[in-house]
Structure 1
Amino acid sequence: MLVPDLRNPTPTSHDDVLRQFQERLSAGLASGEYEPFVWPYRAFGPGLLMLYLLLPPTKSRFVYYARYPLFALIIYLSTDSILKCRSSMVTTGYGIGLLNAWAVLWSMSLIICNDARGEFRRIERRDDLDANWPVDEADGATTGAGRLVDGGLRARHVDGEAEDSSGSQQENRKSSDASKGEIFVWQTLPPTFYHRLDWVCDLVSNFRGVRWNHQISNLPPPPPHIQSSLKDPSVPSADARSHLTRTDLIRRDLPNFLLCLIALDVLKTVTLRDPYFWGLPPSTPSPFPYPCLFRISLSLVSVYTSLLTIFLLSPLLFGVLMGPEKLGQHAWPWLYPPFFGSVSQVYRKGLAGLWGQWWHQLFRYGFEQAGELAGRATGWKAKSQKGTLLRVAVAFACSGALHACASYTALGNTKPIYGSFAFFMLQPMGIIAQRAVSGWMKSGGLRARIPAWLRGIGNLFVVAIWCYVVGPIIADDFAATGIWLIEPLPISPIRALRGDGFWRWGGRWVRWHSADRWWRSGLAC
């Protein structure tokens, strides 16, 4: 138990830290240094992106070039929110920086690096095509929008309904799945509003691009019956991951979700015993032996478990509980591939496998597009050594910027630049160093004499040492934000058994904020 110093009070519990956050916010609001995050006023940036994408299909040059001043306005609004808005709720405070920074990066990916309104397409089911609809020739996916259909897609558009160029509407009918009588097409920006609204909402929220022509790599291709309907030779062949069923989702995700819930309760109970996880400095004494190793390990496990729990909600909620009966095409099981890859990639490829294939790829497309933009600006091609290094560095810089903005908007004593941002900027250096050593061993013939299993153990050892050395940089910043003070679950059976209470959620989450201007009023959290 920490002994409080009356001259400089030290928190004696995590509740004291939360009270200090509230006091700091109240003082900042009173002085005008901070503003509450108010919805919908502070959501104007993403709202403008949605409104732009919702404009009807048109060849207007004015609409095409309007994306540039629109993007500048989104940058201004998001930056203003990051600089001014704060919240005593840890999740909201962290999210203000993270989500506003992502709004800028995602808007850049959709309307600057690409013309999503004209280039992006989504696989949709059409049970019946009107033979009288007019047909227009158009090019399909262009550079920056052809991950799923490498090499580009030649398509015919039927009043906004994209059809494979190898056949007419009648051929598409014949190639549909015979057992279901279904027809699948590449859907461009739809002409009707409600269809367009669904299309745009999916585009903006589907960061990995599942079922879109900009889908990131390492995700499953469409199932065979969809491919036979599309008759698009550029779509990769279906594999085992393409055959997911609703039952498969239950078997794959439900046990993991239940285990995550138990793990979260255990982790929360354990972290509360160490004042470091309240947001106090690393020099604070720990009740556990080997504090540095314990804190790094627990931070990594907590981040992984928290993210996995959130990621498992979408397949279980949308793909299983609601299903096609309520959500239609949005509940196809193959639309919910895992967010994390196989840990065997770390064994096989070390740090490169850790970040490129095991860790979640939620923001990958946005990072890739930023790297491609930098590559086009410098003229360095993607397959050149300089181009590859540039793209990797830009990707990690974007990730560092997102986490640094989240650290900046938290109320704790954080170090956004020397903490979160520095950690991610060190990662490409570690990857390059490991690859350089591996290349040196290969050129000298040493690598061929080492068994594959021993090389795998070596990769794991390198990753473990790397995390132990550089991990505290971001772990300390995470802890300082107060992110471990949140109650992840509404109930805690373990703490109930210890007499600390069963129900963990409470207090006021949102309130109505009245401002001097009506448009600044709204829900504050």
Structure 2
Amino acid sequence: MAAATSPPIPFYRQLVEDYQNQYESLIQNGEAKPVLLWHLIALLLLPVLALLVSRRKGGRYVQLFVLACLFGALVHFLRHRRMLLGGYGYMGGLLPTWWFIWCAVWLAYRNAERDCRRIIRTNTLEPTANGSPTTKIDSKNATEDKRHDFCPQGVERLAWQSYPQSLSQRLDWVFSLLYGMRGPEWNWRISSLGPLPASIHAQLKAKDPSFHEIEMTPAEKTRAHVALRARVRSALVVCIKSYLALDLIKLLMIRDTYFMYNGTMALAPPYPFTFLTAVPGMVRFYRLAVTGFGVHAALTFVTSFNPIIFGGLALAFPNAARALTSVPLDAPWLYAETFGPFLPSLLDHGLIGCWSKWWHQLFRVGFTSTGRWLVSFLPADLASRPAVRQLVYTFVAFGLSGLVHSSGSYVQIAVTRPAAGPFRFFILQAVGFVLQGVGTHVLVPCLMGAKRDLPQWLRRTANLVFAIGWLYLTAPVIADDFARGGLWLTEPLPVSPLRGLGIGVREEDKGWWCWSSPWFEFWDDGTYWGSGVRVI
């Protein structure tokens, strides 16, 4: 069936202005309340303050109370608060929901004070009376000093640090715990980051890692410095590439009615992609590809600033980096890539590899920790079965991911379908995991025999076809919701080279500078708690 004719799209800038006017009307009429900056700061700092209180001094009750407050704030945000910043309000639902899930891990599900340790750089003090320096390692169990022979100049010591006794060190420890979601310097770092250096990894299974130190020789420091410089350069290249990719993707979206406000996949794409209508299914494939590349490029662009900022700080101002935190910011193993290899992940692991090997793992610890917590309530005979545990982990992870993304959809000012869109998409990915597992572990052995495997070329082809095919069938529900809610109206870049040069846009939409609207303004509703800097 031929694709429907695409209606003429309004001028892009006019469309953006119409959305902004609609949002302002909701706020001024009292149908929605604005998000104030102090709301966001409070949400970020409350769990920090809760974790500063030791569980030995009643911290457990403080943490549960704060978690209850966060839940109340989340419900209030989702029901009443609206903003445009961040995907035209999308992040106003996604981030608070994710933040509650993440805080629940450390305030309720897991005992960070007992179980968590991070790698820090220890301070070698002045030599004592017997000629040996003192290195102080602050931990939960003890604060005693350890004596070491005097270190040659250039030798550095790293150690595992448990929950510190010192308040200043504890504050640094808690910030590092809450704001490093992949845990690169922690003993719970996710597996997709790759292994730690052998000398550090060996300490993980030590009887008391807090008191095992690793010396870094001058040669090792030189190699690490070279590796860090290479990593920062690589991140800069990735940042520039993703910036240009975002500019191109944004240009393609501006010209397409589907992305700007319609969300109807059957509409014909604009020139020069009108030829796609002649091939059944290609219009859908094209728009799903643009959506996927858009999300990928945006995440790659944002996460590339982590090594650029912190790795660059360690290179340019090492003393400032040491003063900022005791974490060795000059360690290259802190800055793993956000995404894994694409084709090898799909060829070798199919849909499972797409989500667990290639796609970003920023939410992984939050999802898996919640799954383990829920499994702990199952009867022992069920919880001991690997298949049951894996099934629970899979559906919990994708269910929470669906909840996070549907929350973003729910708070957008346009008409969206949170349950039928994002939530259904992620639940269907869990179903896909189950189908792939049944095919791999049940159907193939039945057809080939228990002792025979599929040829590698056939297995890899089947993995790739199933992964791409399943995403092709299921992704339109979330892609349509993204477009319908106005997610792609957001301006991710301050300057657009393509639009500045007038490539592919109408005269009214040309221009270099894209951030024409303010992000913040003062708001006063006549009450003390309802006044402050408003996030637009």
Q: TM-score range by the shorter chain?
A: 0.7 to 0.9
User: Residue 179 and residue 417 in structure 1: after superposition, are their counterparts in 2 closer, same or farther (change >3 A)?
Assistant: farther
**What letter is aligned with 1:387?**
R
Q: Which residue of 1 aligns with 2:78?
A: 82
Q: Which residue of 2 aligns with 1:7?
A: none
User: Residue 449 and residue 115 in structure 1: after superposition, are their counterparts in 2 closer, same or farther (change >3 A)?
Assistant: closer
User: Residue 298 and residue 428 in structure 1: after superposition, are their counterparts in 2 closer, same or farther (change >3 A)?
Assistant: same
Q: Which residue of 2 aligns with 1:160?
A: 139
Q: Which residue of 2 aligns with 1:139?
A: none
Q: Give the CA deviation at 1:231.
A: 8.7
Q: Give the CA deviation at 1:353.
A: 0.5
User: Residue 334 and residue 119 in structure 1: after superposition, are their counterparts in 2 closer, same or farther (change >3 A)?
Assistant: same
Equivalent of 2:269, from 280, 286, 306? 286
d(CA) in 2 for partners of 1:461, 1:302: 22
d(CA) in 1 for partners of 2:521, 2:162: 40
Q: Which residue of 1 aligns with 2:333?
A: 334
1:366-397, Cα deviation, whole Å (9 max, x unpaired):
00011011101223426521121011100110
Equivalent of 1:277, from 252, 256, 259? 259
1:398-444, Cα deviation, whole Å (9 max, x unpaired):
11100000111112221111000100001111111122122211343
- Coordinate RMSD, CA, aligned: 3.1
d(CA) in 1 for partners of 2:433, 2:205: 40
d(CA) in 2 for partners of 1:337, 1:296: 27
**What letter is aligned with 1:160?**
S
Q: Which residue of 2 aligns with 1:397?
A: 399
Q: Give the CA deviation at 1:228.
A: 7.4
Q: Which residue of 2 aligns with 1:408?
A: 410
Greater mean deviation of Cα atoms: 177-186 or 350-359: 177-186
Residues 139 and 161 in structure 2, CA contact (< 8 A), matched pair in contact too? yes
Matched, 1:516 2:509: no
Secondary structure at the counterpart of residue 89 of structure 2: helix
Residues 45 and 73 in structure 1, CA contact (< 8 A), matched pair in contact too? no
Matched, 1:489 2:486: no
d(CA) in 1 for partners of 2:124, 2:313: 28
Residues 160 and 188 in structure 1, CA contact (< 8 A), matched pair in contact too? yes
Alignment of 1:114-513 (within 5 A): 114-128=110-124, 159-160=138-139, 169-170=146-147, 173=148, 180-224=154-198, 226=200, 232=206, 245-282=227-264, 283-287=266-270, 288=273, 289=276, 290-323=282-315, 324-328=318-322, 329-343=328-342, 344-379=344-379, 380-381=382-383, 383-439=385-441, 440-445=443-448, 448=452, 450-498=454-502, 500-513=510-523
1:446-473, Cα deviation, whole Å (9 max, x unpaired):
7946421232122111111111111101
d(CA) in 2 for partners of 1:377, 1:524: 42
Residues 254 and 260 in structure 2, CA contact (< 8 A), matched pair in contact too? yes
Q: Give the CA deviation at 1:190.
A: 2.4
d(CA) in 1 for partners of 2:310, 2:384: 37
Residues 131 and 169 in structure 1, CA contact (< 8 A), matched pair in contact too? no
d(CA) in 1 for partners of 2:203, 2:402: 42
Residues 413 and 480 in structure 1, CA contact (< 8 A), matched pair in contact too? yes
d(CA) in 2 for partners of 1:279, 1:109: 37
User: Residue 229 and residue 396 in structure 1: after superposition, are their counterparts in 2 closer, same or farther (change >3 A)?
Assistant: closer
Residues 177 and 225 in structure 1, CA contact (< 8 A), matched pair in contact too? no
Q: Give the CA deviation at 1:92.
A: 6.0
Residues 6 and 267 in structure 2, CA contact (< 8 A), matched pair in contact too? no
d(CA) in 2 for partners of 1:129, 1:395: 46
The gaps in structure 2 that reach 5 residues or longer are 129-135, 215-219, 277-281, 323-327
Greater mean deviation of Cα atoms: 402-411 or 323-332: 323-332
Residues 448 and 454 in structure 2, CA contact (< 8 A), matched pair in contact too? no
d(CA) in 1 for partners of 2:190, 2:62: 27
User: Residue 101 and residue 388 in structure 1: after superposition, are their counterparts in 2 closer, same or farther (change >3 A)?
Assistant: same
Residues 113 and 140 in structure 2, CA contact (< 8 A), matched pair in contact too? no
User: Residue 192 and residue 450 in structure 1: after superposition, are their counterparts in 2 closer, same or farther (change >3 A)?
Assistant: closer
Residues 493 and 514 in structure 2, CA contact (< 8 A), matched pair in contact too? yes
Q: Give the CA deviation at 1:178.
A: 6.7
User: Residue 33 and residue 59 in structure 1: after superposition, are their counterparts in 2 closer, same or farther (change >3 A)?
Assistant: same
Q: Count how many residue pairs are aligned between Structure 1 and Structure 2.
A: 484
Q: Give the CA deviation at 1:158.
A: 5.1
Residues 82 and 92 in structure 2, CA contact (< 8 A), matched pair in contact too? yes
Percent identity between matched residues is: 29
d(CA) in 2 for partners of 1:295, 1:354: 19
Q: Which residue of 2 aligns with 1:142?
A: none
Greater mean deviation of Cα atoms: 372-381 or 178-187: 178-187
d(CA) in 1 for partners of 2:296, 2:288: 12
Q: Give the CA deviation at 1:506.
A: 1.6
Residues 375 and 382 in structure 1, CA contact (< 8 A), matched pair in contact too? no
**What letter is aligned with 2:189?**
Q
Q: Give the CA deviation at 1:83.
A: 1.1
Q: Give the CA deviation at 1:317.
A: 2.0
Q: Give the CA deviation at 1:128.
A: 2.2
Higher relative contact order (CA 8 A, sep 6+): 2
The gaps in structure 1 that reach 5 residues or longer are 5-10, 133-156
Q: Which residue of 1 aligns with 2:61?
A: 65
d(CA) in 2 for partners of 1:353, 1:230: 27
d(CA) in 2 for partners of 1:160, 1:473: 49
Q: Which residue of 2 aligns with 1:152?
A: none
Residues 242 and 301 in structure 2, CA contact (< 8 A), matched pair in contact too? yes
